[in-house]
Chains A and B, each alone.
Chain A
Amino acid sequence: MNKRSFLERFALVPHAVWSILFIVAPLIFIIYFAFTDRNGNFTFANVTSLSNYANIFGLSVAFALIATVICLLVGYPLAFFISRLKPSKQKIMILLLMLPMWISLLIRTYSLMTLLDNGGLLNSLLNAVGFRNVQIVGTAGAVILGMVYDFLPYMVLPIYTSMSKLDIRYFEAAEDLGCNGWKTLRRVVLPLTVPGIISGITMVFVPSISTFYISQKLGGGSFDLIGDTIERQFMNKSYNVGAAISLVMMILILISVAVMNKFADDDKGGQLIV
């Protein structure tokens, strides 16, 4: 049709207005606050003060990277095994995988904490079999465990999605051409699921590097990550430094996502849709 109806012409208007006001404008405000002082004067002070936070950035990146790698190592086989099940069973497993994703992060982290805590079930079980209490909460391991526990499904789902798209004939062809199970996995499955891996990495890395609740609860206050710093700055109404840190983190994430997407030739391969 050449003529556009009223509806066609204006259907996008509410969304466009909303996006400009509440998506684009807030991002501009981050930039604005990052480069101004309390009185609204232009300054580089916030950005230059970021050097004080270098070790926080380093720690956060390290934690997030470790958590992402563990998620990948645990999640990839899981996705592969699920994808080889019967379709009806696959559906159930995926539902089981998605259920925790829908439970508030708060509740999941909180429940993990109570399980691991000094007076928690794990330690009382250990006591029962004669071990001493193990201090878990408050260690770096607990924080990373929390990230893995909270975000593992985000790794498995996209990888599973790209695996389930693989044609069964690929496996048959690979076997026909002399691949055993392991070789098939390495030479056929792995290359074809790269898009899923990439989007899984993104989906675990981004929330891991920006979390503050996990480090607060499971780190017992002994680890300060970027998320904690931002949260504290904003809660203390120190918007300008907080904005500067957020801006840098956002840019860091954007760059790493862009770099990773370069690896994925087909960005549709494993995109997670809820």
Chain B
Amino acid sequence: MKVLSKIYMVIVFALLYAPIIVLVLFSFNEKGSLNQFTSFSFYWYKELFRDATALTALKNSLYLAVASSVLATVIGTLAAFGINRLRSKYIKTAVRSVTNIPMMNPDIVTGVSMMLLFVFAASMPFLPIKFGFVTMLIAHTTFNIPYVILSVLPRFAQMDKHLTEAALDLGCTPAGSFFRVELPFVLPGIVSGLMLGFTLSLDDFVISHFVSSPDFQTLPLYVYTQTAHKVKFSMYALCALMVFAILVLMLLVNFADSFSVGKAKVKRKNKTKTEVKENG
């Protein structure tokens, strides 16, 4: 049984990784061939970096990822704070449901719905909206916000509410306690939300596909247009680089998470205590 389960896991994971490994491997293939590995070289990488469009796409992707994840983190963190303080269960449920829509909906629906909004807005004479960075920023921020809330809200919820009261008790104004006590406490959640948003934005193709314009291309969009007809080997290099980037980012996110877990445990214990005692 044990051996069988191990074999099973190995097979599934091997199949899961085979295409990616092949892709990464052949990106180092000197000859532009997919069935013969001739010799190891960075030829296609050099080729890639000679490609001005690819570099612009990379720059665009990074700009967009930074801008949208930072914007989403600010809005999402404030929102998580606000949601946690909502008293009405109904409003809380309503806000969370609307927040979850972009996560529940297929990406294509999110994409086309935003496209329609922008098409409509562009048709208004007083709203000169052009497809490009702004529409992309709005779209990416929109799908990032729920993920930020998802990673920050639990931290707020875990927080012993007496911590805020202790801060007020010791002379902090509510705003002071937000910055001195609450923000530091939820910081790990904010960091992982930020990284999550950054990664998602860097990765997104479907939604971007509908709200971008040819003069604002991101890496995935560039890959899409380049791979539409024939295989280009510099795209293998680009994909391999993106795989590495994701690998690094994921390790970072994971690190941030495990950093926060230790602290969270202690707090969670305290929280259950105080809840029971509240009516004392």
On whether the beta carbons of B239 and A110 are closer than 8 Å, the reply is yes
- For residue B101, which residues in chain A have a CB less than 8 angstroms away from its CB? 23, 27
On whether the beta carbons of A243 and B8 are closer than 8 Å, the reply is no
B274 within 8 A of A: no
- For residue B234, which residues in chain A have a CB less than 8 angstroms away from its CB? none
- For residue A246, which residues in chain B have a CB less than 8 angstroms away from its CB? 108-109, 112-113
B119 within 8 A of A: yes
In-complex Cβ contact of A119 among B35, B79, B112, B150 (8 A): B35
B276 within 8 A of A: no
**Please, how many angstroms separate the alpha-carbon atoms of A100 and B203 in the complex?**
12
In-complex Cβ contact of A257 among B79, B104, B243 (8 A): B104
B36 within 8 A of A: yes
On whether the beta carbons of A81 and B108 are closer than 8 Å, the reply is no
- The stretch that binds A, out of B16-24, B39-47, B49-57, B263-271, is B16-24
On whether the beta carbons of A8 and B239 are closer than 8 Å, the reply is no
In-complex Cβ contact of B95 among A16, A100, A111 (8 A): A16
- For residue B15, which residues in chain A have a CB less than 8 angstroms away from its CB? 149
Q: Which residues in window 226-266 of B have CB below 8 A to A?
A: 227, 231, 235-236, 239, 242-243, 246-247, 249-250, 254
Contact with B along A13-34 (1 / 0, CB 8 A): 1111011001111110110110
- For residue A82, which residues in chain B have a CB less than 8 angstroms away from its CB? 9
**Please, how many angstroms separate the alpha-carbon atoms of A18 and B6 in the complex?**
48
On whether the beta carbons of B85 and A23 are closer than 8 Å, the reply is no
- For residue A12, which residues in chain B have a CB less than 8 angstroms away from its CB? 78-79, 82-83, 86, 95
**Please, how many angstroms separate the alpha-carbon atoms of A117 and B116 in the complex?**
36
- The stretch that binds B, out of A41-49, A120-128, A170-178, is A120-128
**Please, how many angstroms separate the alpha-carbon atoms of A24 and B223 in the complex?**
31
Distance (whole angstroms) from the CB of A134 to the closest CB of chain B: 14
On whether the beta carbons of A96 and B174 are closer than 8 Å, the reply is no
In-complex Cβ contact of A210 among B106, B120, B196, B227 (8 A): B106
**B221 to chain A: closest residue by CB:** A106
How many residues of B sit at the interface, in one of the four size bands? 35 or more
A99 within 8 A of B: yes
B contact face: mostly helix, strand, loop, or mixed: helix
**B87 to chain A: closest residue by CB:** A4
Distance (whole angstroms) from the CB of A206 to the closest CB of chain B: 5
On whether the beta carbons of B106 and A206 are closer than 8 Å, the reply is yes
**Please, how many angstroms separate the alpha-carbon atoms of A12 and B76 in the complex?**
9
In-complex Cβ contact of B223 among A26, A107, A274 (8 A): A107
Distance (whole angstroms) from the CB of A184 to the closest CB of chain B: 12
Contact with A along B99-141 (1 / 0, CB 8 A): 1011011111110111111011000000000000000001101
**Please, how many angstroms separate the alpha-carbon atoms of A30 and B9 in the complex?**
43
In-complex Cβ contact of B109 among A14, A32, A81, A250 (8 A): A250
Distance (whole angstroms) from the CB of B157 to the closest CB of chain A: 13
**B174 to chain A: closest residue by CB:** A5
On whether the beta carbons of A111 and B116 are closer than 8 Å, the reply is no
On whether the beta carbons of B1 and A181 are closer than 8 Å, the reply is yes
Q: A22-B114, A100-B16, A111-B239 are in contact. Are A15 and B145 (CB under 8 A)?
A: yes
In-complex Cβ contact of B120 among A10, A29, A104, A207 (8 A): A29
On whether the beta carbons of A78 and B8 are closer than 8 Å, the reply is yes
A70 within 8 A of B: no
**Please, how many angstroms separate the alpha-carbon atoms of A230 and B207 in the complex?**
13
Q: Closest 8 A-B residue pairs measured CB to CB?
A: A5-B174, A12-B82, A124-B35, A15-B79, A26-B113, A11-B82, A210-B106, A111-B23
Can you offer 8 A-B residue contacts whose CB atoms are under 8 A?
Answer: A5-B173, A7-B81, A14-B74, A15-B76, A103-B20, A114-B26, A115-B19, A119-B35
**A23-B142, A30-B113, A97-B16 known, 15 other contacts, Cβ within 8 Å:** A12-B83, A14-B78, A18-B75, A27-B113, A74-B12, A99-B247, A107-B242, A108-B19, A111-B239, A117-B34, A123-B35, A124-B36, A206-B106, A249-B106, A253-B106
